[in-house]
Amino acid sequence: MPTLFSLSCRPCSCPCALAHGLPAQRLTRAIWQGLACAALGLPLLAQAQAQAPGAAAAPARAASAATEATEATEAGEAAELAAVTVVGRAAPVPVELESHYQPTPDASTLRSLAPALEVPQVTNAVAAQVLRDQRPRHMDDALMNVSGITQGNTLAGTQDTIMKRGFGGNRDGSIMHNGMPLVQGRGMNAAAESVVVLKGPSSMFYGIMDPGGVVNVVSKKPQTERRTTVALGGSTYGHGRHGGGLTLDSTGPIGDKGLAWRLIVDHASEDYWRNFGQRRDTLVAPSLAWYGRDTQAVLWYEFRDYDVPFDRTVVIDPATKKPLDLPIRRRLDEPFNQMWGNSHLLQSSIDHRIAPGWSGHLSLSYNRETYDANQLRIQAVDTARGLLTRRADGTRGALSTDAYGTAYVDGSVKLGSVRHDMQFGLDLENRRIYRADMIRAARTHEFDYRNPVYGRVQPSDRVVPSDSDQSDRLRNQSLFFQDAIHFGPRWIAVGGLRYLHWSQVAGRGRPFRINTHTRDGVWLPRLGLVYKLDSTKSLYASYSRSVKPVSSIAPHASGMVIDSSIAPEKGVSWEIGAKLDVPGGLTGSLALFDIDKKNVLVKQYNDATRRQDWRTAGAARSRGIELDVAGEVGRRWSLIGSLAWLDAKVTKDPEFAGNRLSNVARVTASAAATYNAGQVGAGQLRLGARARYTGRRPGDTANAFWLPAYTVADAFATYTLPVGGRPMKLQLNVKNLFDKVYYPSANNQYGLAAGDARQIALSVGFEF
């Protein structure tokens, strides 16, 4: 019998190892010290003030309805000024998201609790119950519920790469964790409560960014009600490929002064679904919170240790421009193709009510990931002889770090009949991506892909000095201001402005050669107008800009260094749309948008040099229509669905003008529905299914080959019944129900991603 669960993982670093990788710069030291102070100060703060938990909060969804009542109450408390009344909002209640598909507003994404109807920009959320039902492993699986999303180059299935409205890439800085930047390859884990996508240019909120949007993972918080859940699961892909896992989620109060704790532990051990490979993944995520009358503070820590397949060995036939006609489970590399490493994430968030109607917010984050990887790289294919040319490559000593801090103040001021919801603050960030030793074998090997024999090639240890010490360091600082002006109950005008300054140095080699050295600053505006039709519907229009410095670790073919004379990538977006938000019912949005991006860095694989070539001579445009809906239909049905039509193409380039953007489908759609059957026998039964469609899309910038369209279906069932007076939950999930062969993304013609085969997973959970 195969082992369904084994508690085995690669030896890992202790949390104190974080300090050894800290940059010496003043910003990072300040952020690290601030995190330490936050960690040490939470118990002292609670002891000093001894307030009841949650006393200051109001439910997030009720924020809009409570605004006028809050104004009236706080106007009496505030000091009276001539013709000026100060008003504001309360902080959110520390409670779990409810068991429904309708999204709940999250303050960390938009940095405010403004109701969705009053925001001139689309936010699409995958609610906690959707994640519990669908059990997504990675970010792109969860975001298949959202319109306009496709998968990009995932670095052989080891990183989240989300294409949003046609734009995105791995390490593009668009994935956030509680509103703070993330450098970890994977952002989705058992500690995630929900996932929110902020569509369109978001540089006013987050600074350096592609114009497609931002993904924010919202973490689970400690609760003041004691609860422990333990779940044990097993899974199979068939063909002798099995696995299992264990999850612990425990939370509760510390005394009666508003302190609470939470501990999440998750371990998975399974066979890879193709003919070889193993996946081991362990998460340990403790957190601590304090909920006072005027102050709320949360401290999160996540440690991940992993050993996962490094697999992108689906190859395009140069004659047919289609994948080689081989069994999809057959890998074309070797069993040593794995990536192993660990990561640390430490974050703190403090909200404090400064005065009636005004609050301050401070968030600090430090995250660090290290890994090593073996990669048997495919470099050529000879279909006449049935041979591949392969070379044993790899990476040793990869390190990514990000230190970040943001502080802002928000509140409301009423001047006559006009209310101003204002926010102003600053951001600081120091990000570094480093690759120490780049392994490149001295010679290549041929491999018969029709009759494969594995094990004839071993990992190389040959370090190439000219490719090693790859480094990309980015520092940026920002000041920002936003004002939402309420002209009566229906009209809202929103204006925001950020000044962003950055410096970036990138290069490689021993001795080190600088290939990017830029320093610049830019103003980033955001304008919007909202018209509320009634309490559940609104119309909006918006204009916004984005910026992203052009950089490259690799040298330009001409020897040119990217400096400040080369303009950064800039995006401009116009958008109009409509929103629906019925409490306890449906939330939906319809958006029409046009995004133009110029000074685009264009990359394409060069068969002669077997490297990626690049140049800064491009412009791209993405325009389309998106529809999203989520929520409840009646007492028993929950649904989440999306539909998008997208025209994303290169508009200016000597070679690629008119081509469609790689890995971007013109049409995407998804629909998921859940039926609550109620009492069936001794327990409660829920049934659900999902279908997702991704249209045909180019696999590279040259549009030399295309990835076929596909539709994948999933299904699940849960049965909850009492055992010994406690609930026991059985859950069955079937991913890729009809065992569809599909290719979600491509790096180049020698590196397509293969979608997972059908997986059947069964788990049993106990709540105490």
**Full DSSP string of 311-332:** ---B-B-TTTSSB-SS-TT--S
* Any domain includes 724: yes
- For 428-457, the pLDDT digits (tens) are 999 999 999 999 999 999 999 999 999 999
- For 744-761, the pLDDT digits (tens) are 999 999 999 999 999 999
- What percentage of residues in the chain have a pLDDT greater than 70? 84
Would you state the pLDDT for residue 58? 36
Beta-ladder partners of 641? 629, 671
CA distance 5 to 65: 49
What number is the average pLDDT over the span 631-653? 95
pLDDT band at 13 (very low <50, low <70, confident <90, very high): very low
User: Residue 384 pLDDT > 60, yes or no?
Assistant: yes
Q: Which stretch of DSSP H or E encloses residue 605?
A: strand 586-606
What number is the average pLDDT over the span 481-500? 97
Helix extents (H) in 116-256: 128-134, 139-142, 203-206
Would you state the pLDDT for residue 613? 60
Whether the CB-CB separation of 121 and 201 falls below 8 Å is answered with no
User: Residue 56 pLDDT > 60, yes or no?
Assistant: no
Q: Which residues contact 718 (CB under 8 A, 6 or more apart)?
A: 133, 685, 686, 729, 730, 731, 732
Beta-ladder partners of 491? 487, 531
Would you state the pLDDT for residue 723? 92
User: Residue 55 pLDDT > 70, yes or no?
Assistant: no
Would you state the pLDDT for residue 561? 75
State which of 49-58, 600-609, 707-716 shows the largest mean pLDDT.
707-716
Q: Give the CATH number, domain containing residue 301.
A: 2.40.170.20
User: Residue 538 pLDDT > 80, yes or no?
Assistant: yes
Least confident of 104-113, 194-203, 553-562, 683-692: 553-562
**Burial of residue 240 (number of CB atoms within 10 Å: 0-12, 13-18, 19+):** exposed
CA distance 149 to 153: 13
What number is the average pLDDT over the span 518-529? 96
pLDDT band at 553 (very low <50, low <70, confident <90, very high): confident
User: Residue 34 pLDDT > 50, yes or no?
Assistant: no
CA distance 684 to 673: 17
Phi-psi region of 255 (alpha: psi -120 to 50; beta: other; left: phi over 0): left
pLDDT band at 313 (very low <50, low <70, confident <90, very high): confident
Measured in whole angstroms, how far is the alpha carbon of residue 668 from the centre of its chain? 19
* Any domain includes 480: yes
CA distance 556 to 715: 49
Residue 116 backbone phi and psi in degrees, to 5: -55, -35
How is residue 705 annotated by DSSP?
S
Which residue would you say has higher pLDDT here, 43 or 264?
A: 264
Would you state the pLDDT for residue 4? 37
For 181, the token pair is 């930047």
Beta-ladder partners of 632? 638
pTM value is: 0.86
Whether the CB-CB separation of 479 and 501 falls below 8 Å is answered with no
Mean pLDDT of the chain: 87
For 16, the token pair is 């104190």
- For 562-614, the pLDDT digits (tens) are 777 788 999 999 999 999 999 999 999 999 999 999 988 766 656 666 665 66
User: Residue 3 pLDDT > 90, yes or no?
Assistant: no
Would you state the pLDDT for residue 567? 84
For 579, the token pair is 């929103």
The structure tokens 């549009």 sit at 703
* Any domain includes 718: yes
Least confident of 166-175, 523-532, 560-569, 610-619: 610-619
- For 268-297, the pLDDT digits (tens) are 999 999 999 999 999 999 999 999 999 999
* Any domain includes 1: no
User: Residue 1 pLDDT > 60, yes or no?
Assistant: no
Which residue would you say has higher pLDDT here, 58 or 122?
A: 122
Rounded CA Rg of the chain:
26
CA distance 301 to 525: 34
What are the Cα distances from residue 39, in Å, to 29, 298, 680?
15, 9, 47
Give residue 264's domain range.
15-767
User: Residue 654 pLDDT > 90, yes or no?
Assistant: no
* Any domain includes 322: yes
Residue 230 backbone phi and psi in degrees, to 5: -125, 130
Would you state the pLDDT for residue 560? 66
CA distance 62 to 194: 19
CA distance 605 to 444: 18
Domain count across the chain: 1
Q: Report which of 298, 228, 293 is spatially closest to residue 265, judged by C-alpha positions.
A: 228
What number is the average pLDDT over the span 69-84? 37
Specify the length of the chain in residues. Answer: 768
Would you state the pLDDT for residue 740? 98
- For 195-239, the pLDDT digits (tens) are 999 999 999 999 999 999 999 999 999 999 999 999 999 999 999
What number is the average pLDDT over the span 18-32? 39
* Any domain includes 3: no
* Any domain includes 371: yes
Would you state the pLDDT for residue 612? 59
Would you state the pLDDT for residue 25? 44
Q: Which stretch of DSSP H or E encloses residue 30?
A: helix 26-49
Helix extents (H) in 596-723: none
- For 336-382, the pLDDT digits (tens) are 999 999 999 999 999 999 999 999 999 999 999 999 999 999 999 99
Residue 69, helix vs strand vs coil: helix
* Any domain includes 233: yes
For 476, the token pair is 């940026």
